[in-house]
Structure 1
Amino acid sequence: MATTPQSDTAPPGEFQPVGGRLERGLIWVFIVVPTLALLPGIFFAWGGWIGWHDIVLLVVFYAITATGIGVGYHRCFTHGSFKSKRGLKIALAIAGSLALEGPVIRWVADHRKHHKFSDRDGDPHSPWRYGTNAWAVTKGFIFAHVGWVLWGEDRADPKHYAPDLLKDRDLVSISRHFRGLAVVTLLAPAVIGGLWDMSWFRAATGFFWGTLVRIALMHHVTFSINSICHVTGRKPFEARDRSGNVWWLAILSQGESWHNLHHSDPTCARHGVLKGQIDINAWYIKTFERLGWAYDVKWPDRGRLERKRAPAA
């Protein structure tokens, strides 16, 4: 699959999401270092180098960032599955930024481009970009999972793919302050863990579990939606790409791995629409709607779903 790099330049004073070697180096650090922490993490957990404080930090920070990505970056800002009051909008954008997957405007632009060219020439992270034989899919899988972030050049121009967000002062400001939010998400678990137990040791374990392990887990669950869910999974709905539902990722992804329905009906606020499909992010949206923080929610329509059913499903 041939691709053409795009230039994402912006006049002085405008949002410019990625800028040269520093950002590229930080991307490598934010992805590679936490990933390497997963291996010793298993050993340390087995050896008792984890307390209940660490588990709380890991779970809470993971839930916050997973919600920021799934509910905020993805369903709200990218696809407009619902509209949010200003306070919720800002909270979701900040929560998503804490996942260290990039500024909100950059993330949205890339994902909208993915949907426009899904599994075709122009898709920033299709696992089918090199072909369909075993070796080509293996290379494509690695690229779709993490390679496109580390060395890919086919990124989306926010001015083309996210002009609506570039007009939103709140989202532009949060995108510009991504580096500062990165510092917060890196250090907050250590600070909280240390103060919680008044211990330097618990500050260290808080950083290990609440920062490194949590970020690695968050990244690879998100990356798996791009890779695994476009290589395998059930396809009960018609879609113009190879997106599939992967049930065993549903809890960790908070419902994002019901990917076939999402690509069949991208603006739908609920991805897990069939019986037994747990969709935590849809539950959050429903809660926000009941509280009056979210409105104009695009819930599934039974007739629309039936029309999108795949013939063999």
Structure 2
Amino acid sequence: MARTVPNRVAEEPVIEKSLAEKLVVLAVVVIPFLGTIVAIVMLWNQWVNWVDLTLMLVLYIISGLGITVGFHRLLTHKSFETTWWMKRLMLISGSMALEGDPITWASTHIQHHAHSDGEDDPHSPLEGLWHAHVGWMFNHKHKIDVYGTWLKKDPDVVWVAKTWVLWVAVGLIIPTLIAGWSGLLWGGLVRIFLTHHITWSVNSICHTFGRRDYQTRDASRNNFLVGLLAFGEGWHNNHHAFPRSAFHGLRWWQIDFSAYLIRGLERVGLVWNVVRVKETDLQRRVIPATADGMGD
């Protein structure tokens, strides 16, 4: 079985991002934020309707699950297998979230697991909550040749990576065609803003606030609110304890919409070889109730 994370990676010199690269990151962060401010201001004039909100919700679900199920559980951790066209569909959906192409996203996340909460963690909370949330993107130079070599050998992944900007545009054009400028605002910019900050909260909040149920070498935590909004990704301590598990919600009450989708696709034969954690493995790594760090 292929490994998701290398045991040891040779030290590499840190390469600063160029000014142009930092400006691109700034635009990706700021433009959806400004769009959200405009949307909130326009609420005073009641310039929002059920079509706008439906577009925002539907595209939030599509792009969000594309990240959690496609970019994360399928591509990064190989938690299940699927058909070539389903893989492309998942990665296209994730690309609409404007979080980068799938190769860059997955290789960065692989590096995170290899050095979780350490100096070489791209978004280590050791440098502060803001750094873990968004600041890291202005400095981190993606090491695709170190952590994502195998990703560049998958033709379906490469195809989506080469065309990902197109799918970002599609995610903006669709709501615009349906509802005009208000559709672009709510189904485009507000939706991207929400998706961004909920995804980034997994990196920041879920390494700072919440409950620790399983032994890990980092400070990963389970956070119910992030778990709910991020389709199950907020059960982050569970995930770091069992990174290849297709299901992050390991107990019946831990809501994990990504897991529900994977189970549904498995039942109709569209995904298979779904990785599950045995109860004995769960019990082996559980933190005793009297131990420090069970929760904040």
TM-score by length of 1: 0.85
Give the letter aligned to residue 53 of structure 1: V
**Mapping of residues 195-206 of structure 1, within 5 Å:** 203-206=180-183
Matched, 1:173 2:171: no
Give the unaligned 5+ runs of structure 2. Answer: 1-10
**Matched residue SS, 1:250:** helix
**Offset at residue 181 of structure 1 (A):** 2.0
In structure 1, the residue matched to 2:49 is 51
- For 2:40 and 2:226, locate their aligned partners in 1 and report how far apart those are by CA, in whole Å: 20
Give the 3 Å change call, closer, same or farther, for CA 293–21 of structure 1 in structure 2. farther
- Root-mean-square deviation (CA, aligned residues, Å) is 1.9
Aligned partner of 2:103 among 94, 102, 105: 105
Q: How many residues are aligned here?
A: 280
Q: Percent identity?
A: 39
Match in the other structure for 1:16: none
- Counterpart for residue 143 of structure 1: 131
Aligned to 2:6: none
| 1:19-64, Cα deviation, whole Å (9 max, x unpaired) | 9665543332222111122233333335311111001100110000
**Which deviates more from structure 2 when the two are superposed, residues 260-269 or residues 177-186?**
177-186
Per the alignment, residue 88 of structure 1 pairs with 86
Match for 2:275: what amino acid?
A: K
- Residue number in structure 2 paired with 1:272: 249
The answer on 1:42 being equivalent to 2:19 is no
Q: Give the AA of the match of 1:142.
A: W
- The aligned amino acid for 2:267 is R
**Contact kept in structure 1, 2:95 and 2:165, CA below 8 Å:** no
Distance in structure 1 (CA, Å) of the matches to 2:21 and 2:260? 35
User: SS at 2:106's partner residue?
Assistant: helix
1:187-198 matches, within 5 Å, as: 187-193=173-179
What letter is aligned with 2:185? F
Is 1:115 the counterpart of 2:113? The answer is yes
C-alpha distance in structure 1 between counterparts of 2:20 and 2:126, whole Å: 30
Look up the match of 1:216: 193
Deviation digits for residues 84-137 of structure 1 (CA, Å, limit 9, x no counterpart): 1111100011011110000000000000000000001100001113xxxxxxxx
Distance 1:189 1:238, change over 3 A: same
C-alpha distance in 1, partners of 2:15/2:86? 32
| Counterpart residue number, 1:282 | 259
Secondary structure of the corresponding residue to residue 229 of structure 2: coil
Mapped partners of 2:280, 2:244: distance in 1? 16
